[in-house]
Amino acid sequence: KINYSKYKNMSYKTLHAATMGETKQSQRQAKLDVDHKLAQSIPPRELLEELAVTCANDPSPDNTFQYAFALSKSSEKTELRYSVTILDGLVKEGYSHQLDCMFGAATALYLLEDFEAARERCESILRTKPENRAAAEMHLACMGSQEAKVDKQVKRAATVGSIAMAAVGVAAVVASVALKK
């Protein structure tokens, strides 16, 4: 939580800069925390197989949810996408644990690096249950991860642009030397 009492004598501009810094730090910390938790919660293959068999033998909404929720933490992209499809279907069917389905889908989307869609799911949860700490933490992590992804793309584009400019410069030098001969 941000302690605003220390900012009471600051100008708006100074206050805005200070709180933005704390928000960015909160996002980075949430990303680290979520990444760590998810790395620790990858379901074992045996559990996924057992839940798949249970779901196939008795495809009740509860069994389907348990299977899809476990898949939402998988390390396999195909399983993550499948979990989102199943969990979204349960929500559309009016399954009683809709917020859990939405959080499972947000988790899978986060792991798929679709941070915008994951953030939207978290926002939907937080509109209904603003005190949901897991959704709030995931929401912050999504914002931090999206920002890190954009920063990485900008740095990559700058590097490629610099290399391209250097190549153009070298080509110009070579061309001018060739023309002088």
pTM for the full predicted model: 0.71
Residue 114 has pLDDT above 50, yes or no: yes
CA distances to 43, 56, 98, 131 from 61, in Å: 20, 12, 11, 26
The pLDDT value recorded for residue 81 is 97
Per-residue pLDDT for 18 more than 50? no
Output the six-digit token pair for 168.
Answer: 């153009």
Query: Mean pLDDT throughout 113-141?
Result: 92
Chain-centre distance for alpha carbon 65: 21
Cα–Cα distance for residue pair 170/156, rounded to 1 Å? 21
pLDDT computed for residue 117 by the predictor: 95
Among 73, 78, 74, 100, CA closest to 88: 100
Q: Given pLDDT bands bounded at 50, 70 and 90, which one contains residue 99?
A: very high
